[in-house]
Chain A
């Protein structure tokens, strides 16, 4: 399990860096959704399935939808 944890955490850091550095805001939001999904799996690995369910529903679902709605109201490129 340590190998899986290391893999997940390294992809998590990569996703965080990519979400900050991307110029395309829609792409950044989608990378952020992937970050949230990985974070949910990591919560499950850490032994808190309650937080994992909430993270998967809120972080990957609702936050992404709200951010995409904001992007559709404003501009896609910064």
Chain B
């Protein structure tokens, strides 16, 4: 009986995880148009990865996202944000200057608009997702 329950759980989770991740990436990429953004979308993506580690094993989840890879992605997200911010200073504006230094702003209300803001939310999303997942792993891990 218990084996069957675990089988149902595993199959349902394997089916549901892609939908959660697509929704999380939608919240990240549409963050400048609708409610949401990097933090909320990153948390949803992280929830899908924690669901994987809960259903299968934490060691199996750690194979997908080891601590070294997690710290690499975390640092990449932070460096991406700071580099895009410093781009404004390089060209002669302030930190995180957007439209004034000639970045195309696009049509307001469309997906490609807002200049740097979608790229910034993408960096924030990756950083938040990986941080929350590695929080869970470092809490659960046997030491």
Residues of chain A touching chain B, judged by Cβ–Cβ distance below 8 Å, are: 49-50, 52-54, 57-58, 61-62, 65-66, 69-70, 73
Q: Is B50 positioned at the interface, with any CB of A under 8 Å from its CB?
A: yes
* Contact with B50, one of A49, A50, A52, A62 (Cβ below 8 angstroms): A62
Q: Is the interface of A mostly helix, strand, loop or mixed?
A: helix
Residues of chain B touching chain A, judged by Cβ–Cβ distance below 8 Å, are: 27, 35-37, 39-40, 43-44, 46-47, 50, 54, 132, 135-136, 139-140
Please name all residues of chain B whose beta carbon is closer than 8 Å to the beta carbon of A70 when the two chains form the complex.
Answer: 139
* Contact with A57, one of B44, B136, B139, B140 (Cβ below 8 angstroms): B44
Q: Does A50 lie within 8 Å of B35, measured CB to CB? A: yes
Closest to B58 in A: A69
Q: Is the interface of B mostly helix, strand, loop or mixed?
A: helix
Say yes or no: A54-B43 contact (C-beta < 8 A), given A65-B136, A66-B135, A69-B140: yes
C-alpha spacing A53/B47, complex, angstroms: 13
Say yes or no: A49-B136 contact (C-beta < 8 A), given A57-B40, A61-B47: no
Please name all residues of chain A whose beta carbon is closer than 8 Å to the beta carbon of B35 when the two chains form the complex.
Answer: 49-50, 52-53
What is the CB-to-nearest-CB distance from B61 to chain A, in angstroms, rounded to a whole number? 13
Q: Does A58 lie within 8 Å of B136, measured CB to CB? A: no
